[in-house]
Each structure stands twice: as C-alpha cells, then as structure tokens.
C-alpha cells in the first residue's frame, strides 16, 4: 500500500521535500463536466448569453487558476508551468459542457493538482456565468484522466479505476468474508502492520467502537495503539465516529491526529 507522503511519521502535515528528485518532463490532464438545461447550452453555443462569451471566460479562468494552485491548496509546491490548456466541449447529450485541462512542465513534482484546479475553476466559472438563467446546473465527475513522467511513471484513469478492488489480505484466524482495516503514520510503525482483515459476513454490520474492541482483543501492541487519545477514524475515506456503522466490504482507516506543520 502506498504511504501518505504529506504526513510524517508522527502524523503531522508537511510539504514534501522534492529537492533530491530528478527534473523530468511531466504532464497531467484532468476533467470535469457541467450539466445544464438544453436552453442554457444553446445560449452558450450560439453566443447569445447576456454575459458574453462564456467559454472564453471559463477558459481564461482555468488557465489563471492553474498558476494559482499553491495559493489555494495547502502544501502544493509553486511550479513553473510551461503549458496550460483548457478545452471546453459542448455536449448536447448531457446536455452540458465537458472541461479538460492539461498542464505541463519540466520539474521535480507532478502537475495533477494544477490540472484539477484548472478544470474545477473553469467549471465554476461556467456556473457563475450562467447561474442567472439556470440555477440547477450541476458540476460533477472531476478527476485526473492521465499523468506522465516522474518516478511513478505514466498513469491513466481507465487503467486504474478498479485499483481499489484489490484482494483482501487475510489474517491467520480469518475464515470468512472480510472487513478491511488500515493503519497510517505512527500507528503503522507501532504495529509493524499497515493493514489487516476482520471477519464480517456479507449482510452483517458492526460499529467502529465494537470493531476497536475486537481488534484490541488481539493483545499488544494493538490494545495500546487503539487506546490512544484523539484517535481518528475514517470509514470508506469519510471521517467517522465510534457509533458509525461499518459493513461487509467497507474500508476502515485509523490514523493519529493531523496537525499543521
């Protein structure tokens, strides 16, 4: 399992030191889409919207946003982007507009966040330009489509969209269907484990509190780790609490409090 690079061993947030990385050519493309009424899309395509050229304005906003990413997203590195393109494609089948943003540089870190920021702000600008006539617009499906360069190499959304469905790791006592439990930062180091599986049958459910007690029953060092004050927990990547329900197939993650750094 990949480590969270923006957390140190104590669970504290940090800007990753990339000074030792090689300078390589890097690109990233991100997308978003804005659903709207057919009438609103027609105004955009025909250039009859009262606010003027909606697509041109959104395109400029996306390019500007890519260059301001480190001002908007904590811990992002200021980058010397060599190229930013934002394409806005009207799609009558939605109806709406597809947004694709591509960022490029020769540097020591990737440009996925810049591409995502460009696509997001371009979509927000479309909404702002048209909200007077169509408040029901929906911005959706914001994602990275592909990236190239860097140590991790090339990546595409299509090739990795099922990557989270990897087989469950079994414990020695596992005899049935599993609930995936993961540990991060200093918890992982204390346990010398980053994940385990807890038996939970299909259709069965429990709570985070009960799950903690079940794991603590394994003895040390599990009991000490899960007795830590202010322990944080996420269920399916959403922050949760002791009474939260967990079910067969869920992913539960434990990590220490995260503080600024």
Active-site residue list: 128
For residues 33 and 31, what is the distance between their CA atoms, to the nearest angstrom?
A: 7
Which residue's structure tokens are 């006592």? Answer: 173
Which residue in 132, 67, 55 sits closest to 99, CA to CA?
55
Could you tell me the two tokens for 184? 């991060």
């Amino acid at each position: 399992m990949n480590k969270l690079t923006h957390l140190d061993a104590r669970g504290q947030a940090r800007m990753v030191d990339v000074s030792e990385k090689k300078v390589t050519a890097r690109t990233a493309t991100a997308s978003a889409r804005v659903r709207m009424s057919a009438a609103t899309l027609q105004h955009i395509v025909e250039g009859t919207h009262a606010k003027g050229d909606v697509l041109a304005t959104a395109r400029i906003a996306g390019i500007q946003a890519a260059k301001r990413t480190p001002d908007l997203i904590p811990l992002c590195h200021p980058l010397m982007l060599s190229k930013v393109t934002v394409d806005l494609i009207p799609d009558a089948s939605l109806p709406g507009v597809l947004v694709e943003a591509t960022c490029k540089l020769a540097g020591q870190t990737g440009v996925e966040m810049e591409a995502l920021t460009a696509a997001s702000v371009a979509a927000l600008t479309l909404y702002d330009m048209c909200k007077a006539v169509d408040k029901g617009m929906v911005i959706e499906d914001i994602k990275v489509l592909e990236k190239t360069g860097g140590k991790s190499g090339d990546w595409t959304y299509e090739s990795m969209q099922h990557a989270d469905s990897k087989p469950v790791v079994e414990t020695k006592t596992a005899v049935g269907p599993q609930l995936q439990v993961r540990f991060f930062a200093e918890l992982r180091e204390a346990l010398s484990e980053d994940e385990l599986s807890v038996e939970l049958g299909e259709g069965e459910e429990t709570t985070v509190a009960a799950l903690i007690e079940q794991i603590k029953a394994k003895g040390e060092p599990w009991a000490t780790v899960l007795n830590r004050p202010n322990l944080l927990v996420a269920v399916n990547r959403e922050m949760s609490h002791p009474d939260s329900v967990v079910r067969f197939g869920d992913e539960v993650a434990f990590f220490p409090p995260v503080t600024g750094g």
